[in-house]
């Protein structure tokens, strides 16, 4: 087996394993930890696929900032454990079966060769480097980029408004 | 290089796991994390195809997906906190006032 | 369009949208931040917005001069694009529009500055300081709309501005909508605003019909294309006539000519800066601008010139006589404005477009000056009568101490309550004198040159119009003399006049600038040189003809004007009235005529009797006979109801019970069953809903793959 394939299989196994770990853990903190691990492996995939910038963002923003936020909320709410049985347990087997069907469908598409994909080529030097991404981001995708900033602002304000306990009463003029 | 089909398969597996998380877990935060996993599998696919077709736009899209995800997490977690305040739980099954 | 483009060669033309953008920015800033920032900020922002528009106009002026007067058209946006119809948001920069821009923004800026001082007191006398910002928002909106009106390159854009200024006029006349013109609480002001709006609607209907007809016969609304069609001779004469007459109806509405002038005197209910800006200097001249802009239409129609000229001349004389009999300082000026607008309409009607535009400009100077001066007088008397600060509110018994005429509230606008003000408010007095001399047509002052040019043209055109206009000019000098003697000379006739206070500097500076303009403005179109006329010739082309200077006309009108001023001194200046209640000397001499002039020749009452009442009666009759008795009692009851009953009786038993009910009940049963079955799915659990979504995803994917 080619060394690349070995790397892929090992990393893929780790990714799937950590995802399953997230799914199965009883404790939400463990779930979060497994997810961070999963994100880290995916970041390595990004590196392999020639996307160093995205990999970096994945580690800093996703595995870093966002997951810290998750852990923070879990700790804040004391919501590590909560499993009270409800009347929806019949849903679990259905969901698993449907998931398997989805996988079979995807596998069939891949195996039958309906979607003929070209082989991955070796990219030119500098592909996916921050400089190249930046150039594209600030020329062709400038408007979406600016819109994104508005979106983030809106999200920030939204989060503040939603979590504010009571509107501080204004002084009457 | 590893064929792109492998990445597609891995992405499908991760996506399915994420879906199962949404459908089977009751903890709202874990459901949320599962959604992040699904987004991540889509991102992986984007990057893989960006490489296959040598179109850098795929990576730009990942960038945008990540920003949207960040915004979504901020608002979503705020919602969870707000729900916790009023219902004193984040068990998604106890938040069922959608029933008519 | 960007400011930086102005440095490019010919780039100043690209600045033209900013004449609209600046006022709009100003009003937005005031709208958002005005309430919090205080009066200084509001006044500065609004004045600055208008001032920047003026700066752009000046830049356009120089650019146009560098371009040798050739017009430029700046395309900002596509607006209406349907088939062959292609109407853009285009700005037209030619000598005519730039002249109007300069007048509107220049005088507008001065009036903004004035208003910043004036409204400070006005909002306090009306006990509503929060309205200060509202006033400047409206004022900036007005400037923006007026700029659209004068800079549009097609009739539709002109119409947008036309309606926009009408709206601003409505808003500003009714600015103190919870008061009456005499300052008490009531609906008088909103009634005046409504009157202005409705009278203008009648005119706007005319203008709209003119636009429709124009489009019908020429398939275009763009000025050059329309005029080109007219030149080609394809347009039938009746259509040109119809367009011109409909347009004239629009002009009589907006520019307050017979028969629609009645709204303008009532429009004085608005604050004085509004009277000066909208109802004297700019908006009401839009009609004159429209006729000048449409010169090819008005010159093409047979006999159109005569109609327009007689409407203008008639208005000029008629309104001048009414002005003689008024006691309200602003009403005199209002009728004077109607009269002077008559001069302009007569001039453009005669085809003397340059003379009309010239009078428009000089009139904008001195009438704005006179209105602002009258505002300063009113403010001085009001402050003398009712000093602010010493007496916040409540102590209104002061108002009843005997000097007023009617026993109601003290009216600071009534000239009978004034007198002797020249010593109390010297700055206002001297600037007012400048305006009076200009309006009376005394040589050297601006009004002399412009009015003289109109008279010289009239003599050439039709001796009848010349005579009518000359008499109107005589009355003009007379009522202005009367006003000055009554207001500034003699002894104070009320407590307010005795204690009058000179206005603050923001009020006086615009007065001084306008006084200078009123004095020297006439020299821009000096006889035989005609710089202004040649400037307009670039736009008017062969519709321009220089007016020959006629020494006899000039001497005659000068003699007339001076004689009128002298007579007014004999009547009012020699023996000034002593008390506020005395009868007017003219009333003693000619009681019948004066009563007519004082009552505005009962035109409002005649309109009430001839138009409004019959209209109401007709409406009542229609409501009773047509709607109720015929439509309701007969048609509804007999035809529809009884017919319906007959039909239903048939339908109810055999058709309905048998067939329809069977189907309906069946449907209901099916729906009920289906709903019961489906309600299983509505569990209220979000996860459950997600599961169904997932089922959908998997099935659709399956269908796509395995089909």
Q: Encode pLDDT of C423-474 as tens digits.
A: 888 999 999 999 999 999 888 888 888 888 899 889 888 889 999 999 999 9
Contacts with B62 from chain A: Cβ below 8 Å? 51, 54
Q: Are C168 and C75 in contact (CB under 8 A)?
A: no
Closest CB to B90 among A49, A82, A158: A82
Q: What is the pLDDT of residue C407?
A: 41
Sign of the alpha-carbon torsion through B26, B32, B34, B35:
positive
Choose from A79, A100, A109 for mutation: most chain B CBs within 10 A: A79
Instruction: Please write the tens of the pLDDT for every residue from C322-341.
Output: 998 888 899 999 999 999 99
Instruction: Please write the tens of the pLDDT for every residue from C519-555.
Output: 988 888 877 777 888 888 888 888 887 777 778 888 8
Nearest alpha-carbon partner for A8 in A42, A53, A39: A42
Q: What is the CATH number for A14?
A: 1.20.120.1200
Q: Please identify, among A43, A59, A81, the residue that sits at the C-terminal boundary of a domain.
A: A81
CB atoms within 10 A of CB C196: 27
Closest CB to C705 among A95, A98, A105: A105
The answer to whether residue A95 neighbours chain C at the CB level (below 8 Å) is yes
Instruction: Please write the tens of the pLDDT for every residue from C73-84.
Output: 888 888 888 877
Nearest alpha-carbon partner for C557 in C455, C446, C462, C439: C455
DSSP C397: G
Q: Please identify, among A81, A103, A118, the residue that sits at the C-terminal boundary of a domain.
A: A81
Q: Measured at the alpha carbon of residue C452, what is the angle toward residues C451 and C454, in degrees to the nearest 5?
A: 65
Q: Are C93 and C75 in contact (CB under 8 A)?
A: no
pLDDT-derived band at C301 (thresholds 50, 70, 90) equals confident
Is the confidence at residue C635, as pLDDT, over 60? yes
Residue B10: closest C-alpha in chain A: A12
Choose from B51, B55, B58, B99 for mutation: most chain A CBs within 10 A: B51
Residue A65 domain-assigned (yes or no): yes
Query: Mean of the pLDDT values across residues B72-85?
Result: 89
Contacts with B28 from chain C: Cβ below 8 Å? none
CB atoms within 10 A of CB C37: 15
CB contact under 8 A, A102 and B19: yes
CB contact under 8 A, B92 and C691: no
CB contact under 8 A, B96 and C684: yes
CB contact under 8 A, A73 and B67: no
The answer to whether residue C698 neighbours chain A at the CB level (below 8 Å) is yes
Q: Are C389 and C469 in contact (CB under 8 A)?
A: no
Q: What share of chain C is helix, strand, coil (3-state, %, to 5)?
A: 75, 5, 20
Diameter over CA atoms, chain A: 79
* HEC profile of C274-329: HHHHHHHHCHHHHHHHHHHHCHHHHHHCCCHHHHHHHHHHHHHHHHHHHHHCCCEH
Quick one: C372 and C430 in the same domain?
Answer: yes
CA distance C403 to C397: 13
Residue A92 domain-assigned (yes or no): no
Give B100 or C667, the one with higher predicted confidence: C667
Backbone angles phi, psi at C493, to 5 degrees: -110, 10
pLDDT-derived band at C395 (thresholds 50, 70, 90) equals very low
CB atoms within 10 A of CB A73: 23
Give the ipTM: 0.90
Quick one: C415 and C541 in the same domain?
Answer: yes
Question: Number of CB pairs < 8 Å for A and B?
Answer: 227
For B79-93, C18-32, C148-162, C441-455, which range has the lowest pLDDT when averaged over its residues?
Answer: B79-93
Which structure tokens are listed for C368?
């704005």
User: What is the pTM assigned to this prediction?
Assistant: 0.65
Q: What is the pLDDT of residue C434?
A: 92
The radius of gyration of chain A from alpha carbons, rounded to an integer in Å, stands at 22
Quick one: C586 and C633 in the same domain?
Answer: no
Contacts with B39 from chain A: Cβ below 8 Å? none
Peptide linkage before C259 cis (omega within 30 of 0): yes
Quick one: C577 and C618 in the same domain?
Answer: no
DSSP C652: I
CB contact under 8 A, B71 and A31: no
Place of tokens 């509202």: C134
CA distance C707 to C703: 5
Q: What is the pLDDT of residue C2?
A: 55
Quick one: A134 and A76 in the same domain?
Answer: no
Choose from A102, A106, A115, A173 for mutation: most chain C CBs within 10 A: A102
Q: What is the pLDDT of residue C643?
A: 85
CB atoms within 10 A of CB C637: 11
CA of A6 vs chain C CAs: smallest distance (Å): 31
CA distance A126 to C445: 79
Closest CB to B33 among A31, A76, A133: A31
Instruction: Please write the tens of the pLDDT for every residue from A34-48.
Output: 999 999 999 999 988
Closest CB to A95 among C683, C691, C702: C691
The answer to whether residue B52 neighbours chain C at the CB level (below 8 Å) is no
Nearest alpha-carbon partner for C132 in C56, C233, C46: C46
Residue B49: closest C-alpha in chain A: A120
Residue C12 domain-assigned (yes or no): no
Quick one: C373 and C504 in the same domain?
Answer: yes
Residue A44 domain-assigned (yes or no): yes
Contacts with B25 from chain A: Cβ below 8 Å? 23
Tally of structural domains, chain A:
2
The answer to whether residue C700 neighbours chain A at the CB level (below 8 Å) is no
Quick one: C422 and C546 in the same domain?
Answer: yes
Nearest alpha-carbon partner for C203 in C167, C251, C164, C166: C251
CA of B100 vs chain C CAs: smallest distance (Å): 7
Is the confidence at residue C391, as pLDDT, over 60? no
Instruction: Please write the tens of the pLDDT for every residue from C20-73.
Output: 999 999 999 999 888 888 888 999 999 999 999 999 999 999 888 888 888 888
CA of C370 vs chain A CAs: smallest distance (Å): 41
Is the confidence at residue C396, as pLDDT, over 50? no
Residue A111 domain-assigned (yes or no): no
CA distance C139 to C47: 10
Quick one: C318 and C340 in the same domain?
Answer: yes
Could you give the percent of chain C with pLDDT greater than 70? 95
Structural domain span for residue C611: 605-706
Instruction: Please write the tens of the pLDDT for every residue from A54-69.
Output: 999 999 988 888 899 8
Q: Are A7 and A48 in contact (CB under 8 A)?
A: yes
Nearest alpha-carbon partner for C500 in C646, C383, C605: C383
Q: Are B20 and A23 in contact (CB under 8 A)?
A: yes
CA distance C578 to A45: 103
Which structure tokens are listed for C313?
């001349």
What chains are in contact with B, requiring at least 3 Cβ pairs below 8 Å?
A, C
CA distance A67 to A32: 7
CB contact under 8 A, C686 and B100: no
CB atoms within 10 A of CB C52: 19
CB contact under 8 A, A101 and C685: no
**What are the C-alpha distances in Å from C667 to residues C641, C651, C652, C653, C663?**
31, 20, 19, 20, 6
What chains are in contact with C, requiring at least 3 Cβ pairs below 8 Å?
A, B
Residue A151 domain-assigned (yes or no): yes
Q: Please identify, among C549, C581, C598, the residue that sits at the C-terminal boundary of a domain.
A: C598
E strand map for chain B: none
pLDDT-derived band at C394 (thresholds 50, 70, 90) equals very low
Q: Please identify, among C540, C566, C598, the residue that sits at the C-terminal boundary of a domain.
A: C598
Place of tokens 């409501």: C623
**What are the C-alpha distances in Å from C13 to residues C1, C65, C225, C538?**
9, 12, 22, 17
Give C499 or A1, the one with higher predicted confidence: C499
Residue A152 domain-assigned (yes or no): yes
The answer to whether residue A147 neighbours chain C at the CB level (below 8 Å) is no
Place of tokens 């946006």: C77
In order of start, what are the domains of chain B with their CATH numbers? 4-89 (1.10.287.3510)
Nearest alpha-carbon partner for C345 in C315, C365, C368, C301: C315
Which residues contact residue B32 at a Cβ distance below 8 angstroms, ignoring those fewer than 6 apart? A70, B73, B76, B77, B80
CA distance C457 to C437: 22
Q: What is the pLDDT of residue A114?
A: 66
The answer to whether residue C697 neighbours chain A at the CB level (below 8 Å) is yes
The answer to whether residue A146 neighbours chain C at the CB level (below 8 Å) is no
CA distance C330 to C473: 19
Q: Are C309 and C396 in contact (CB under 8 A)?
A: no
Residue C351 domain-assigned (yes or no): yes
CB contact under 8 A, B19 and C694: yes
CA of A86 vs chain C CAs: smallest distance (Å): 10
Query: Mean of the pLDDT values across residues C125-153?
Result: 90
Q: Measured at the alpha carbon of residue C611, what is the angle toward residues C610 and C617, in degrees to the nearest 5?
A: 95
Is the confidence at residue C170, as pLDDT, over 60? yes
Q: What is the pLDDT of residue C163?
A: 93
The answer to whether residue C694 neighbours chain A at the CB level (below 8 Å) is yes
Is the confidence at residue C406, as pLDDT, over 50? no
Q: What is the pLDDT of residue C168?
A: 93
CB contact under 8 A, C687 and B19: no
Quick one: A19 and A75 in the same domain?
Answer: yes
The answer to whether residue A102 neighbours chain C at the CB level (below 8 Å) is yes
CA of A95 vs chain C CAs: smallest distance (Å): 7
What's chain C's average pLDDT? 85
Residue B32: closest C-alpha in chain A: A70
Residue A156 domain-assigned (yes or no): yes
Q: Measured at the alpha carbon of residue C18, what is the angle toward residues C14 and C21, in degrees to the nearest 5?
A: 145
Residue A62 domain-assigned (yes or no): yes
Quick one: C623 and C492 in the same domain?
Answer: no
Is the confidence at residue A83, as pLDDT, over 70? no
CB contact under 8 A, A102 and C695: no
Instruction: Please write the tens of the pLDDT for every residue from C201-216.
Output: 999 999 999 999 999 8
Closest CB to A88 among C687, C697, C706: C687
Residue A60: closest C-alpha in chain B: B66
CB contact under 8 A, B99 and C686: no
Quick one: C424 and C447 in the same domain?
Answer: yes
CA distance C126 to C69: 48
Quick one: A1 and A71 in the same domain?
Answer: yes
Instruction: Please write the tens of the pLDDT for every residue from A123-148.
Output: 677 787 888 888 888 998 999 999 99
Contacts with B31 from chain C: Cβ below 8 Å? 687
Q: Please identify, among C574, C598, C622, the residue that sits at the C-terminal boundary of a domain.
A: C598
Structural domain span for residue A136: 129-166
What's chain B's average pLDDT? 87
Query: Mean of the pLDDT values across residues A88-100?
Result: 85
Nearest alpha-carbon partner for B49 in C605, A50, C282, A167: A50
CA distance C483 to C436: 9
Quick one: C564 and C453 in the same domain?
Answer: yes
Closest CB to B37 among A38, A141, A152: A38
The answer to whether residue B26 neighbours chain C at the CB level (below 8 Å) is yes
The answer to whether residue B31 neighbours chain C at the CB level (below 8 Å) is yes
Quick one: A68 and A10 in the same domain?
Answer: yes
CB contact under 8 A, A70 and B48: no
Tally of structural domains, chain C:
2
The answer to whether residue B95 neighbours chain C at the CB level (below 8 Å) is yes
Quick one: C557 and C458 in the same domain?
Answer: yes
Q: Are C46 and C114 in contact (CB under 8 A)?
A: no
CA of A169 vs chain B CAs: smallest distance (Å): 20
Query: Mean of the pLDDT values across residues C186-197?
Result: 89
Closest CB to C687 among A91, A102, A105: A91
Q: Are C579 and C334 in contact (CB under 8 A)?
A: no
Residues in chain B: 100
Quick one: A135 and A59 in the same domain?
Answer: no
Q: Are B68 and A155 in contact (CB under 8 A)?
A: no
Q: What is the pLDDT of residue B3?
A: 85
Give C309 or C411, the one with higher predicted confidence: C309
Quick one: C586 and C690 in the same domain?
Answer: no
Contacts with B4 from chain A: Cβ below 8 Å? 117-120
Query: Mean of the pLDDT values across residues C577-587?
Result: 78
Give C310 or A3, the one with higher predicted confidence: C310
Residue C508 domain-assigned (yes or no): yes
The pairing of beta strand C72-82 with beta strand C85-93:
antiparallel
E strand map for C417-478: none
Contacts with C706 from chain A: Cβ below 8 Å? 108
Could you give the percent of chain C with pLDDT greater than 90? 34
The answer to whether residue A104 neighbours chain C at the CB level (below 8 Å) is no
- What SS3 class is residue C179? strand
């Amino acid at each position: 087996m080619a060394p690349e394939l070995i790397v892929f299989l090992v990393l893929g196994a780790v990714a799937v394993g950590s995802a399953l770990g997230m799914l199965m853990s009883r404790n939400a903190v463990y779930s979060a930890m497994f997810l961070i691990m999963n994100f880290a492996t995916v970041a390595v995939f990004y590196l392999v696929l020639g996307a160093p910038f995205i990999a970096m963002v994945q580690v800093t923003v996703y595995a870093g900032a966002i997951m810290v936020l998750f852990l923070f909320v879990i700790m804040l709410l004391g919501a590590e454990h909560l499993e009270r049985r409800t009347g929806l347990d019949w849903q679990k087997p259905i969901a698993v079966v449907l998931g398997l069907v989805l996988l079979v469908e995807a596998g069939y598409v891949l195996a039958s060769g309906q979607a003929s994909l070209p082989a991955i080529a070796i990219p030119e030097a500098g592909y996916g480097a921050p400089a190249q991404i930046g150039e594209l981001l600030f020329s062709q995708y400038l408007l979406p980029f600016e819109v994104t900033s508005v979106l983030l602002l809106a999200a920030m304000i939204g989060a503040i408004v939603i979590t504010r306990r009571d509107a501080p009463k204004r002084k009457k003029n | 290089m590893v064929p792109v089909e492998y990445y597609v398969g891995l992405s499908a597996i991760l996506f399915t796991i994420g879906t199962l998380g949404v459908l089977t877990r009751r903890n709202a935060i874990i459901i949320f994390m599962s959604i992040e996993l699904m987004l991540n599998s889509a991102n992986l696919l984007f990057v893989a195809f960006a490489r296959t077709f040598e179109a850098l736009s795929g990576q730009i899209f990942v960038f945008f997906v990540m920003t949207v995800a960040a915004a979504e997490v901020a608002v979503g977690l705020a919602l969870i906190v707000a729900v916790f305040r009023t219902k004193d739980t984040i068990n998604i099954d106890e938040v069922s006032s959608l029933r008519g | 369009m960007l400011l930086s483009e102005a440095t490019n060669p010919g780039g100043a033309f690209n600045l033209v949208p900013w004449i609209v953008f600046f006022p709009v920015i100003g009003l937005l800033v005031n709208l958002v931040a005005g309430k919090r920032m205080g009066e200084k900020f509001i006044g500065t922002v609004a004045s600055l917005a208008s001032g920047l528009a003026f700066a752009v106009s000046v830049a356009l002026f120089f650019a146009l001069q560098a371009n040798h007067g050739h017009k430029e058209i700046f395309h900002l946006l596509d607006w209406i694009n349907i088939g062959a119809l292609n109407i853009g948001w285009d700005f037209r920069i030619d000598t005519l529009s730039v002249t109007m821009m300069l007048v509107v923004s220049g005088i507008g800026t001065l009036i903004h500055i004035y208003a910043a001082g004036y409204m400070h007191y006005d909002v306090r006398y009306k006990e509503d300081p929060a309205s200060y910002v509202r006033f400047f928002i409206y004022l900036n909106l007005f400037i923006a709309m007026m700029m659209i009106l004068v800079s549009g390159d097609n009739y539709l854009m002109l119409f947008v501005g036309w309606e926009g200024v009408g709206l601003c006029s409505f808003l500003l006349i009714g600015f103190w909508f919870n008061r009456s013109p005499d300052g008490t609480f009531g609906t008088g002001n909103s009634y005046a605003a409504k009157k202005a709006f409705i009278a203008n609607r009648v005119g706007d209907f005319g203008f709209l019909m003119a636009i429709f007809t124009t489009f019908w016969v020429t398939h275009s609304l763009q000025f050059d294309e329309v005029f080109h069609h007219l030149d080609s001779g394809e347009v039938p004469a009746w259509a040109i006539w119809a367009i011109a007459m409909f347009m004239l109806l629009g002009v009589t509405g907006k520019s307050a000519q017979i028969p629609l002038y009645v709204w303008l005197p009532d429009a004085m209910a608005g604050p004085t800066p509004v009277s000066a800006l909208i109802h004297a200097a700019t908006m009401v001249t839009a009609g004159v601008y429209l006729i000048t802009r449409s010169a090819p239409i008005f010159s093409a129609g047979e006999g159109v010139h005569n109609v327009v000229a007689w409407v203008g001349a008639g208005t000029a004389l008629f309104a001048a006589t009414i002005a003689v009999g008024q006691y309200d300082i602003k009403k005199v000026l209002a009728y004077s404005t109607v009269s002077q607008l008559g001069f302009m309409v007569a001039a453009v009607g005669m085809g003397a477009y340059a003379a009309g535009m010239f009078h428009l400009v000089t009139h904008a100077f001195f009438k704005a000056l006179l209105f602002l001066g009258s505002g300063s007088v009113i403010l001085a008397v009001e402050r003398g009568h009712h000093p602010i600060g010493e007496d916040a509110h409540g102590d209104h018994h002061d108002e009843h101490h005997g000097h007023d005429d009617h026993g109601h509230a003290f009216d600071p606008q009534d000239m009978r309550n004034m007198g002797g003000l020249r010593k109390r408010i010297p700055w206002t007095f001297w600037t007012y004198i400048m305006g009076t001399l200009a309006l009376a047509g005394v040589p050297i002052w601006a009004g002399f040159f412009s009015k003289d040019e109109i008279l010289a043209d009239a003599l050439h055109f039709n001796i009848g119009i010349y005579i009518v206009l000359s008499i109107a000019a005589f009355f003009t000098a007379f009522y202005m003399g009367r006003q000055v003697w009554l207001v500034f000379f003699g002894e104070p006739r009320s407590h307010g006049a005795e204690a009058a206070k000179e206005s603050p500097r923001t009020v006086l500076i615009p007065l001084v600038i306008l006084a200078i303009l009123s004095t020297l403005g006439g020299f821009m179109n000096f006889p035989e040189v005609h710089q202004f006329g040649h400037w307009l010739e670039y736009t008017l082309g062969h519709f321009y003809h220089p007016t020959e200077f006629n020494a006899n006309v000039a001497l005659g009108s000068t003699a007339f004007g001076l004689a009128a001023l002298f007579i007014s001194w004999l009547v009012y200046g020699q023996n000034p009235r002593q008390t506020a209640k005395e009868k007017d000397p003219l009333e003693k001499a000619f009681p019948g005529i004066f009563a007519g002039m004082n009552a505005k020749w009962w035109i409002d009452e005649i309109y009430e009797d001839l138009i409004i009442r019959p209209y109401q009666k007709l409406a009542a009759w229609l409501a009773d006979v047509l709607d109720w008795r015929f439509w309701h009692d007969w048609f509804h009851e007999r035809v529809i109801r009884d017919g319906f009953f007959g039909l239903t009786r048939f339908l109810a038993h055999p058709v309905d019970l048998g067939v329809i009910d069977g189907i309906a009940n069946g449907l209901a049963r099916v729906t009920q069953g289906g709903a019961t079955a489906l309600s299983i799915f509505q569990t209220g659990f979000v996860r459950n809903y997600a599961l169904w979504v997932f089922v959908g995803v998997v099935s659709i994917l399956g269908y796509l793959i395995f089909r």
